[in-house]
């Protein structure tokens, strides 16, 4: 399991990203820039999923892989921030392994799949299996980002998928499969540490209602962005990271 680490603070922050084609950690410098405000007070770890994603992988095995890795590395009482798929993992770990998590922030995620999310992920799996990298990049960009952001970055977003190897596309198929018909609502309801849920009414992947459901079943704090923000509100909202840090710092 690949990871990036930086910062020298006394507190430990674990970032669990969402679904990508390829490796999140290939963009280490961009990740460090995105979380630079944490570097003084926190030692930050950003984890990819495992290299060898097997057939039949599911969200429980994925979450347990990360929990086992954290345990082996001695990462306990961490401040965990999970986005989209990473939010699902973070809820599972926070509820199932409470000794590992001190506080948790969940962004653009869901405690269980819904008709909309199943339709989106099944479409991406279908395109990946057909090896239609161009259409996969286009479709992911259209659903994840706002129209303005997508139009401004369309060529880069599509190229980032089109350049991936057949091995990476196969890995993506198995990874995306964990997001179809998943349910960690029982583990989410067991969370006892402080939790902040971030969502957006413009989320075309998980939906804003899914974020509201997380807040209800966990009793956590809720910050809902308006319809102008997409699924990737965690990338596009300029104040989101400051809300995450304020929640962890208090």
Domain of residue 40, CATH code: 3.40.50.1820
Supply the pLDDT for residue 203: 98
| Domain count of the fold of the chain | 1
Supply the pLDDT for residue 35: 97
Q: Is residue 193 part of a domain?
A: yes
* Secondary structure E strands in the chain: 3-6, 11-16, 42-47, 78-83, 101-107, 195-200, 221-225
Task: Name the pTM for this structure.
Answer: 0.96
Q: Quick one: which H or E segment has residue 183?
A: none
Residues 37-74 as b/e (b if ≥16 CB within 10 A, e otherwise) read: ebeebbbbbbbbbbeebeeebebbebbbbbbebbeeee
Q: Is residue 171 part of a domain?
A: no
Supply the pLDDT for residue 115: 98
Q: Is residue 142 part of a domain?
A: no
Supply the pLDDT for residue 37: 97
- What is the DSSP secondary structure assignment for residue 48, as one 8-state letter? P
Q: Is residue 123 part of a domain?
A: no
Q: Is residue 98 part of a domain?
A: yes
Q: Is residue 178 part of a domain?
A: no
As a 3-state breakdown, the chain gives helix, strand, coil percent values, each rounded to 5, of 50, 15, 30
Q: Domain limits at 215? A: 3-112+183-249
What Rg, from alpha-carbon coordinates, does the chain have? Answer: 17
Q: Is residue 236 part of a domain?
A: yes
Supply the pLDDT for residue 242: 98
**What are the mean pLDDT values of the chain's consecutive 10-residue runs (250 residues total)?**
96 97 92 96 96 94 98 98 98 98 98 98 98 97 97 95 95 97 98 98 98 98 98 98 97
Q: Is residue 80 part of a domain?
A: yes
Supply the pLDDT for residue 133: 97
Nearest to 100 by CA among 72, 69, 60, 70: 70
């Amino acid at each position: 399991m690949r990871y990036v680490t930086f910062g020298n603070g006394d507190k430990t922050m674990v970032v669990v990203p969402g679904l990508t084609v390829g490796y999140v950690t290939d963009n280490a410098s961009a990740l460090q820039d995105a979380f630079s405000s944490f570097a003084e007070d926190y030692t930050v770890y950003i984890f990819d999923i495992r290299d060898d994603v097997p057939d039949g992988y599911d969200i429980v095995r994925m979450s347990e892989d990360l929990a086992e890795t954290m345990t082996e590395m001695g990462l306990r009482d961490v401040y965990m921030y999970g986005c989209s798929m990473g939010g699902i993992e973070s809820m599972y770990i926070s509820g199932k392994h409470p000794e590992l998590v001190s506080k948790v922030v969940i962004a653009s995620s869901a405690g269980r799949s819904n008709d909309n999310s199943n339709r989106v992920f099944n479409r991406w799996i279908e395109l990946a299996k057909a090896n239609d990298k161009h259409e996969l990049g286009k479709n992911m960009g259209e659903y994840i980002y706002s129209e303005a952001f997508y139009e401004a970055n369309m060529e880069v977003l599509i190229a980032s998928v089109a350049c991936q190897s057949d091995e990476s596309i196969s890995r993506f198929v198995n990874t995306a499969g964990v997001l179809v018909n998943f349910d960690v609502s029982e583990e989410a309801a067991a969370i006892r540490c402080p939790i902040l849920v971030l969502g957006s009414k413009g989320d075309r992947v998980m939906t804003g209602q899914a974020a509201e459901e997380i807040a209800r079943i966990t009793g956590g704090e809720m910050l809902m962005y308006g319809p102008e923000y997409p699924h990737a509100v965690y990338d596009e909202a300029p104040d989101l990271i400051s809300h995450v840090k304020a929640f962890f710092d208090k």
